[in-house]
Each structure stands twice: as C-alpha cells, then as structure tokens.
Amino acid sequence: MTRVVDSSWFYWAVGVAIGLPICLVILTEVRAALARRGSALTKLVSLVRNYILPLGALLLLLTKATEVSAEATPVRIVSTVLGFVLLVLVLSGLNATLFQGAPEGSWRQRIPSIFLDVARFLVIAVGLAIIFSYIWGANVGGLFTALGISSIVLGLTLQNSVGQIISGLLLLFEQPFQIGDWVDTPSARGRVVEVNWRATHIDTGSGLQIIPNSVLAGASFANLSRPPGEHSITVVTEFAMGDPPDDVCGLLTRVASGLPNLRKDAAPSTVAAGAGQYKTSIPLRSPADDFRARATFTRWVWYASRRAQLRLDGQDDDFATPERVEKSVRIIAPTLRLNHTDHQQILSEVRLTRYSADEAIQSPGQVPKRMTFIVNGRVRLVAQGEDGAVITVRVLEEGDFLGSTTLTREPVSTGAYAVDEVTVLQLDRAAVEELVARKPLLLQEIGRTIEERQDDVRRALAAAD
C-alpha cells in the first residue's frame, strides 16, 4: 500500500498550502512599503498579490495536486485567465517603469501617446496569440499572414495620408514646442493650446488656427518661448533727419526702460539705422506681452518726443499755442496766488506739455528741477512698501501740483503716474524761487504741502501693513 507522503501530489499540496500564505504576507508588506513611498509599482504588486498568486496556486493544485489533465476545460479556463492577468501585468509594468517615472524632457516623456497605443496593441496581439496557441491549440499563423497582407495593401492605398500622419508623429516625438509656447509659423503666430497626433491648435488672439502637424514638419517656424528668458521685440521708429541721433537714442531707451512688461535684469537698447530710422530692442518677460508692450511704447514715444522737442515722423509739436498757455495759466493762478502782473510775467516762463496714460511723471528718489501743475487729467501718487508692493497714496486733479521739493532740493518720496492723458504746466526752479521771494504765503503753502504728502505716505504704508 502506497503511503501518502510518497505521492507527488502531497508535496505540491503542502507546498501551495504553506507557500501561498507566506507569499501573500510578504507581498502585503512590500505593497505597504511602496505605497508609503508613493511608488508607481504599488499597483503592480497589488495585481500580483490579489490575482496572479492565487490563480497560479489554483493552477498548481489542479495540474499537480489533483493531477487534472492540462487538456481539461477547467485547467484551460484558469490558464487563460492567468494569461490575461499576466498580460495586464506586462502592460502596466512597462508603463510604470519606462514612462511614468520618465525624467523631464527625456525621450521617454516625449513619445506621443499614439505610439504607446500602437505598442500596447502589438503586445496585446502577441499575448493573445500565445494564449490561444499554447492553451487552446489554435492556429494563429494564418491570421497573422492575412493581417500582414491586408496591412501592406492598405498602406499602399493610403500612403499619402499615412505619410502625413507619420510626419506629424515624428514632430510630436521631437517636441520642438510644448503647450503654452509661443510660435511664429508661416500661417499663424500665437500660443500653442493643444497638440494631438494630427494637428496643432494655435491661439492667435483673433481665433483658433488649426495647422496639420505634417505642414509644420515640412516648414520652418520659430519658437518664441525658447530659450526661456531670451525673448525680445524690435520696434522701428523714424525721426526727422535734423534731430540729434544721441538725443533720439537716449529718449527711446528711457521710454522703453519704463515699460511694465520689461524683463527683469535686462535693459533695452536703441541704435540708429540710418535715414532717420531707429531700432529699439526691448527684452520682454513673455511673447504674450508683445502686442501690449509695442502699443504702449509707440504711444509713450509720441508724447515723450514732443516733450523733448524731437520730431517723430518729421512732425513738429504745435500743442502749446498762446491761447492754450493763457488758459492754462488762469487755471493754476489761484494755486500760485498770481495777480495780473504775475500772470503776464509768467506766460513766457511756463511750458505746456502732455503725458500719456500710465506714463511716469515723477519717480521716487528723484530731485525735481521744476514744479509741475496739473491743468487737465488725473495723476496717481504711489509709494513703495517694504515688500516692494506699489501702494496708491492719493489721486491729484486739476490745480494740484508735483515737485513740491523743488525749492528744498530734496528727493521726493512718491512716484507719480498719469491715470489718463494729463496736461501740465511746468515752471523751472529759478522762476519758482523768484515767485516765492515776492509771496511768502506761497512758500508756506508749499511747505505745508510737503508735510501733507509725507503724512499721506506714512498713512498709506501703515494701512498696507
């Protein structure tokens, strides 16, 4: 009589009964450790613990412990299910090890999703062929032969369309641009908002331009966002031939330096291009600022050139007519306590000019050389907090003035920016000194204004803390 311990099935049964719980405990601890680290392999270990290990143990019990034939339907069913789970494990493992942990900018991260889909389809096809061939004994060779011939015929029929798709996919693999980059193509200029296997979608500001990837792959285009931090625009302006080039270059550079879109730690520059033309290079933070910066620069240059008596586009400034100057002096007469004699004398000493909206009229720390009286428009006084934030102190209107420290020759503590177009009268320091020498009350008024402005700054800074 044969003893139980002499039977081969006994050792298989004991091995499965002891090995399965031990492996389950080990895999449970491994899964918990991976989960604490946030590893992408956690799901793979869970798949092995929950499905592959139990199915493998069941298959061993069927074929070894109970000695059921491998040709039996239950064994084939269990083997098929195990094969499917192993196929899922292979796909998940490749995705987790090769692509989920891919470094930023590596070739693994740049592979288009359609390539991954095709690779998954091939792995699934091969896996299913192995399962049906070895488990169920199916003849899959004829099927692969038929698919191969059909693919060749279909490829020859659609070679132009397939060629365009492949060109687009190669463009996606190279990734000369990413979502959010600004590009300049032969047919559109704007920001890339979507890239798929067929086309690139570009937001031009006036609509969405859809360009096939095959067109981009065969054309030359510029990525304005690369390298980062290097984007600049060039603005061409033209002045009269008689204007001194150094004065014009200095004016254009100063105006460009005040643009709010200017890139930090970068300075604009201007060169004379000949024939009265000047090229100003303006470094910007992003291509998104191109239009706004160009429009603001052009507008500010128009006003600044007239204040500097330079002839932009060959045009002289005819704004300060005697009638406008006379009317403006009447507006500021109560502020300066002017009588009729003062009024007539000051007409030849004032200068009437304009500032554009958002343009700086006064900078913090500047020692003013003249007093500036507001004739029309509004001016915003600002101070800078300890954290660099710009804080509004107050808004000046018609009749108010700037440069109250002109006589004391002290730097101002506030900046001043035009809220809208501002017309001002400017009076040089010498003329102001002569005027206050005859009017002590005016000097007291200016002193009181200096104290009030300082109090306003302290209150604004305190309220912002």
Instruction: Supply the pLDDT for residue 41.
Output: 79
Calpha distance 199→82 (Å, rounded) = 40
Calpha distance 416→394 (Å, rounded) = 10
Packing angle between helix 429-438 and helix 440-464, nearest 10 degrees? 120
Q: Spell out the domains of the chain, with CATH numbers in brackets.
A: 4-155 (no CATH), 174-223 (2.30.30.60), 232-307 (3.30.70), 322-464 (2.60.120.10)
Instruction: Supply the pLDDT for residue 353.
Output: 94
| Preceding amide of 227 cis, omega within 30 | yes
- For the stretch 340-371, pLDDT in tens is 888 888 888 899 999 999 999 998 888 999 99
**Residues found in the chain:** 465
Instruction: Supply the pLDDT for residue 1.
Output: 41
Q: How many CB atoms lie within 10 A of CB 133?
A: 13
Instruction: Supply the pLDDT for residue 384.
Output: 84
Q: Which ranges of the chain have pLDDT less than 70?
A: 1-9, 65, 67, 96-118, 138-169, 172-173
**Sequence-ordered list of residues with C-beta below 8 angstroms from that of 275, at least 6 positions apart, any chain:** 241
* 344-to-275, 339, 449 alpha-carbon distances in Å: 43, 9, 26
CA-derived radius of gyration, the chain:
40
DSSP count for the chain of H helices, then E strands:
15, 16
Instruction: Supply the pLDDT for residue 271.
Output: 95
Return the SS3 of 355: strand
DSSP letter, residue 289: G
Q: How many CB atoms lie within 10 A of CB 321?
A: 10
